[in-house]
Amino acid sequence: MKIRIVILAAALLAALSFSGAQDVPLHGVAFDGIAFMFSEAIATGVQIEAVEAGTNVSPFMIQTAESPPHILFTFLDYIPSDSEEIDRENLRAPVIRVYETADLPDFELNGVTYADEAAALTDLLERRPDLTGEESLPFLPLIPGIQTLNARPRYLENDSIDGIAYLTHRADRAGIVLEGRVFYTFQGFSKDGRYYIAAWLSVDSGVLPVVFSAKADFDAIMENYDLYKEARVTALTWQEADVFYPPLNDLDALFDSFLVTPLSN
């Protein structure tokens, strides 16, 4: 069953720091003990769905990936909007998935389980290393392909959740990084240990090429892919946060607002 819910939750407003919040309306969502706020600069509403175990969550047409059951929050009228100039290759999916951690060990892809990724995140959150030194960062859902880069990684924590946020790009192999194919993700746990929270929110950076020029030397890029990737990471890192679309500060604020009501004894 799919439900469209937008609830104004004024009690949450004082804790938030959305870009231009004084000018842009804020919306709130509350469902089954989970609540968060988001700016209308991000979306106008949310559709909520209980997703059954085994549902395919792969964005790639010919490659499937089964997922544990989860609550799916899909943003409506999500910004960035569709553009004829940008090919998002089915990677736009403006969603937050909330899994129960007890369900994670039962699902895997290519020998890696959901619990493996959760354990990797637990290790990072316990050690708190400098995330910029990590070649690959935990990511759910498990989907085909590889994480070709990550940029602007940081820890995000409030009274209810603890996790990491970063920009990333995925491809079936080392790939060309274009506008529309980079997305913001939050990967984290509720502090009561019950939930794993995973976001996939496409962003436009303003610093990446929109199309791949046929004149570019593809072979040369592949031969020097580490340098190519480093240049893309540098561009994403040095771009101002409020220039991204939606603004990265607004996306961070969404997760800063996240509330999880613990189960009563």
Question: Residue 179: what pLDDT?
Answer: 84
CB contact at 8 A, 202 and 94: yes
Residue written as token pair 């395919």:
56
Between 1 and 159, where is the model more confident? 159
pLDDT at 133 over 70: yes
Task: Please tell me what DSSP assigns to residue 233.
Answer: H
> What would the mean pLDDT of 196-225 be, rounded to a whole number?
83
pTM: 0.89
Share of the chain above pLDDT 90, in %: 59
Task: Please tell me what DSSP assigns to residue 41.
Answer: T
Residue 254 CA, distance from chain mean position: 12
- Separation CA 215–CA 38 (nearest Å): 41
CB contact at 8 A, 60 and 43: no
CB contact at 8 A, 60 and 145: yes
Peptide bond before residue 59 is cis, with ω within 30 degrees of 0: no
* Helix or strand holding residue 235 (H, E): helix 225-238
- Separation CA 202–CA 205 (nearest Å): 10
Between 180 and 255, where is the model more confident? 255
Helix and strand totals (H; E) in the chain: 4, 13
Question: Residue 91: what pLDDT?
Answer: 61
pLDDT at 215 over 70: no
Q: How many CB atoms lie within 10 A of CB 157?
A: 14
Q: What is the mean pLDDT of the chain?
A: 86
Residue written as token pair 């790009």:
169
**How would DSSP label each residue in 159-194?**
SSEEEEEEEEEEESSS----TTSEEEEEEEEETTSS
Task: Please tell me what DSSP assigns to residue 77.
Answer: T
pLDDT at 257 over 80: yes
CB contact at 8 A, 138 and 126: no
Question: Residue 144: what pLDDT?
Answer: 86
- Separation CA 183–CA 169 (nearest Å): 7
pLDDT at 9 over 90: no
pLDDT at 60 over 80: no
Question: Residue 88: what pLDDT?
Answer: 66
119 class by beta-carbon count within 10 Å (0-12 exposed, 13-18 middle, 19+ buried): middle
Torsion (CA) 96, 98, 101, 105 in degrees, nearest 10:
-60
Beta strands in the chain (DSSP E): 2-4, 26-31, 34-39, 45-51, 70-76, 95-100, 108-109, 112-113, 146-157, 161-171, 182-190, 195-202, 259-260
